[in-house]
């Protein structure tokens, strides 16, 4: 641990800044974890793209199809490759509390900076807010590492800003990935922005969140390494311009990325987000590979459409 439980909020506020990306996990043709490809991707993201931190083993990384041992190994590789160069936030999300705690303790033991835990799917629950407060309180009691909440429609509900603000009072709750409508995360920023870092995964809204909400953390999704290359880092450029207060210059750079955004999002089949993004990675020269079941692979026709859009979107390789 790089800090004590009582210092968690201060440490994370000082060190969790800038653009953080959610890592896709490359798999080999036999569906085993491509460790060499993962290491290569991480080095590219940090050394070439300047990404400040990585969200490891989340939904983008297909944690739901990985064994407990694989998830732990995923943490270890990320800590090794980011050491001294970038931060880490490890997803310990699971429906089974024992698994959450085991992963959280492993993240703490191997030197991760923080963890994130998705709000669970709840069954037959009436006292939802109290259930969720107790859920995060219990995890906080078991470990010292900083913990980020994560509220997303996948849980079947959204945590209210008021509930999140209450949970933010726990000593090692340090952040939230709040995948909700903008008015909700703006309200939480007002209620608890002095106690936790509030962020969301939408690159489309990142510029406005810097300018209007004073955010300094992008947490987290794949655009930082899908919209950028070694020779074309417009997301980083507009981020730095906006944070320096050069708003119109930042807006111009942000807007120049629209053809790339449209190519990426416009060719993505609705039910195949990871498969599509992995193929886009391959077009960029990164390690991608297949997805694991239950996710679906891209068809050859879908790949052809994506490749055509990629080649004409104006991204400099």
- Report mean pLDDT in 10-residue bins for the chain, 317 residues: 96 98 98 98 98 98 98 98 97 98 98 98 95 98 98 97 98 98 98 98 97 96 98 98 98 98 97 97 98 98 98 98
Token couple for 43? 């080095």
User: In the chain, which ranges are E strands?
Assistant: 18-22, 53-56, 87-91, 114-118, 146-151, 173-178, 197-199, 217-221
- Residue 116 inside a domain? The answer is yes
Structural domain including 16 reads 5-254
Query: Domain of 76: which CATH number?
Result: 3.20.20.70
- Residue 268 inside a domain? The answer is no
Pairwise CA distance, residues 77 & 139, whole Å: 24
DSSP code of residue 245:
T
Q: What is the pLDDT of residue 101?
A: 98
pTM equals: 0.97
Q: What is the pLDDT of residue 165?
A: 98
Q: Are 94 and 129 in contact (CB under 8 A)?
A: no
- Residue 296 inside a domain? The answer is no
Q: What is the pLDDT of residue 45?
A: 98
Pairwise CA distance, residues 312 & 204, whole Å: 21
Pairwise CA distance, residues 77 & 69, whole Å: 12
Q: Exposure pattern of 196-219 as b/e (b: 16+ CB <10 Å)?
A: bbbbbbebebbbbbbeebebebbb
Pairwise CA distance, residues 197 & 218, whole Å: 10
Q: What is the pLDDT of residue 42?
A: 98
- Residue 179 inside a domain? The answer is yes
> In this structure, are strands 87-91 and 114-118 parallel, antiparallel, or unpaired?
parallel
Pairwise CA distance, residues 117 & 100, whole Å: 8
Token couple for 304? 């052809």
Q: How many domains does the chain have?
A: 1
Pairwise CA distance, residues 298 & 290, whole Å: 9
Pairwise CA distance, residues 297 & 269, whole Å: 10
- Residue 231 inside a domain? The answer is yes
- Residue 294 inside a domain? The answer is no
Q: What is the pLDDT of residue 1?
A: 87
Q: What is the pLDDT of residue 37?
A: 98
CA separation (Å) from 226 to 51, 108, 120, 229?
Answer: 12, 29, 29, 8
- Residue 312 inside a domain? The answer is no
- Residue 304 inside a domain? The answer is no
Neighbours of 53 (CB within 10 A): 27
Sign of CA dihedral 205, 210, 214, 219: positive
Q: Are 31 and 293 in contact (CB under 8 A)?
A: no
């Amino acid at each position: 641990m790089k800090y004590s439980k009582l210092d968690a909020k201060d440490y994370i506020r000082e060190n969790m800044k800038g653009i953080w990306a959610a890592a896709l996990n490359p798999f080999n043709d036999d569906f085993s974890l491509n460790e060499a490809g993962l290491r290569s991707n991480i080095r590219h993201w940090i050394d070439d793209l300047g990404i400040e931190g990585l969200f490891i083993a989340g939904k983008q990384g297909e944690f739901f199809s990985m064994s407990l041992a694989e998830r732990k190994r995923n943490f270890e590789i990320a800590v090794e490759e980011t050491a001294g160069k970038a931060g880490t936030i490890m997803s310990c999300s699971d429906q089974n509390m024992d698994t959450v705690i085991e992963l959280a303790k492993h993240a703490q033991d191997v030197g991760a900076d923080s963890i994130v835990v998705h709000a669970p799917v709840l069954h037959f629950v009436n006292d939802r807010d109290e259930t969720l407060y107790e859920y995060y309180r219990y995890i906080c009691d078991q470990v010292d590492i900083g913990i980020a909440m994560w509220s997303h429609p996948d849980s079947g509900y959204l945590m209210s800003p008021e509930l999140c603000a209450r949970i933010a009072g726990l000593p090692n709750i340090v952040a939230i990935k709040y995948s909700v409508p903008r008015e909700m995360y703006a309200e939480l920023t007002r209620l608890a922005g002095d106690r936790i870092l509030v962020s969301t995964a939408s690159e489309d809204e990142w510029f406005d969140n810097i300018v209007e909400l004073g955010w300094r953390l992008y947490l987290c999704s794949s655009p930082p390494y899908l919209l950028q290359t070694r020779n074309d880092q417009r997301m980083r450029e507009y981020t730095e311009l906006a944070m320096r207060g050069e708003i119109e210059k930042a807006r111009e750079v942000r807007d120049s990325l629209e053809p790339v955004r449209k190519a990426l999002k416009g060719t993505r089949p609705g039910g195949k987000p990871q498969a599509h993004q992995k193929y886009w990675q391959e077009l960029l020269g990164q390690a991608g590979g297949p997805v694991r079941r239950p996710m679906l692979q891209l068809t050859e026709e879908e790949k052809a459409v994506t490749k055509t859009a990629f080649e004409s979107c104006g991204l400099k390789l």
